[in-house]
Amino acid sequence: MSSVYEQLGGEAAINAAVEVFYRKVLGDKYVVRFFEGVDMEKQAGKQKAFLTMVTGGPNNYTGKDMREGHRHLVKMGLDDSHVDHILCHLRSTLAELGVAQNLIDTVISVAESTRADVLDR
Amino acid sequence: MATIRFEGQDYSCAEDEVLLDSLARQGAVLPSACKAGACQTCLTRALKGKPTPVSQQGLKDTLAAQGYFLACLCKPVEDMEIGLASVLSEYSVPLMRKELLNESIIRLRVEKPEGFSYRAGQFVNVRRSDGLSRSYSLASIPSDSYLELHIKRVAEGEMTTWLFDEVAEGDMLSFSGPAGDCFYLAGDLERPLLLAGAGTGLAPLLGIMRDALEQGHRGPIHLFHASLATSGLYLIDELNALAKQHAQLKYTPCVLHGDAPIGGMQGNIIDLPAQVLGTLSGYRIYLCGDPPIVSGLRQKSFMAGAAMQDIYSDPFVFSST
């Protein structure tokens, strides 16, 4: 069976997904403080890599970058509640792009598997 | 099999091998992270030879136009020479004109050197004989016979003190360049443009705007130029005159404090464009000036509907000395 990444339409679709996803995240007052002063273009690159990975596209995910990249945010108070918000935005992004419920569940379970790395525990 | 020249060394790239891997295999490790074409950490520039279309997919078109590509996706089909940063040429030319534009900004015009090719909106690095170097954006367009720089005096700034107080018309000025990926691309002549910035961020915006007009841009062009107060604005009459000449051009001077000039607005430049224009979906956007202003404008423009690929920016970096 082909991956969600392929079903969505590959790289171009992920670009579109990043725009939708990033807008939701920046519009969310509960998490936006973690994105202040961040270089939007670099951040979008990272989000693209993340969305590619969780949808089963080509990636070299190790968890190490995720852990190191979020460590300063954990010091700022990043916790499970913020990760929950991000996962909600991911769910609605996928739904907006017409991804079926069972595939959304698959993607979310992959994203869920990065939680420990993100929160450095 | 293609040969890749990098920093004076030749590397062979096997068929069906990406450039990043073949160089790493031979001991030249380029910065990289995702190795899947997403994160753009391995962004590399082709100095000779053509990168493959796949390796430029998803890159900003101004980067692709300058030969940038992703080393993790490029399976070279021909010999190439590559570099991590752009390699810049050095020039030395006489200063033709130096004039004060307002209480703290001067305009310098130097002769355009023979063979100097650039895009309006790019910048050059001005260098003093002792090696002191600072970047300044070009306000001129390629068809001008001169290069124009706008320079704001920085309190106790070594370079600006020298340029303001010592350099005189007729003196030689040295610089290297051009560099920067914030410039107009023909092709979308009907598309609305938003140009926004503060202080001498006007320099590249002016170049981009004149370039767009010269290339026959027909869509609306909105220029927002901001300063703390009216005394910090400059070229107001010239910009109003340009707007009169070109029906599609709208110029809005903006001030944070005090009264705005006629036709201008008072408020925070970060909020004003989206406030005035409503949705920015479909716009091509150019942002120049202090990093906090550029980054704020970028976020607001994106949230107002602009696509990330359509936002070009040139945040100025200030040195403390």
Complex ipTM value: 0.76
pLDDT digits (tens, 9 = 90+) for A20-79: 999 999 999 999 999 887 888 888 888 999 999 999 998 877 778 889 889 999 999 999
Query: Residue B189 above 80 pLDDT?
Result: yes
Q: Which of B39, B299, B307 sits opposite A40 (nearest CB)?
A: B299
Q: Which of A5, A19, A29, A66 to mutate to test the interface with B (most CBs of B within 10 A)?
A: A19
Query: Residue B321 above 60 pLDDT?
Result: no
User: Would you tell me which residues 3-42 of chain B have a C-beta closer than 8 angstroms to some C-beta of chain A?
Assistant: 33-41
- DSSP 3-state assignment of B130? coil
Q: Do A58 and B37 touch (CB under 8 A)?
A: yes
Residues of A in contact with B40 (CB under 8 A): 45
Chain B interface includes A52 (CB < 8 A):
yes
Residues of A in contact with B302 (CB under 8 A): 22-23, 26, 40
Who has greater pLDDT, B36 or A116? A116
Q: Which domain holds residue A14?
A: 4-118
Tell me the CATH number at A55.
1.10.490.10
Q: Pick the most confident of A59-68, A100-109, B41-50.
A: A100-109
Closest residue in chain A to residue B311, using alpha carbons only: A41
Chain B interface includes A11 (CB < 8 A):
yes
Q: How many domains does chain A have?
A: 1
Q: Which domains does chain B have, with CATH numbers?
A: 2-83 (3.10.20.30), 89-179 (2.40.30.10), 193-315 (3.40.50.80)
Query: Residue B285 above 80 pLDDT?
Result: yes
Q: What is the mean pLDDT of residues B20-24?
A: 92
pLDDT digits (tens, 9 = 90+) for B226-264: 999 999 999 999 999 999 999 999 999 999 999 999 999
Residues 6+ apart with CB under 8 A from B269: B196, B197, B198, B224, B226, B254, B256, B293, B297
Q: What is the pLDDT of residue B85?
A: 57
pLDDT digits (tens, 9 = 90+) for B129-186: 888 888 899 999 999 999 999 999 999 999 999 999 999 999 999 998 888 888 898 7
Q: What is the pLDDT of residue B259?
A: 94
The DSSP string of B244-305 is HH-TTEEEEEEESSSPPPTT-EES-TTTHHHHHH---TT-EEEEEESHHHHHHHHHHHHHTT
pLDDT digits (tens, 9 = 90+) for B51-108: 999 999 878 778 888 888 999 999 999 999 998 755 567 899 999 999 999 999 999 9
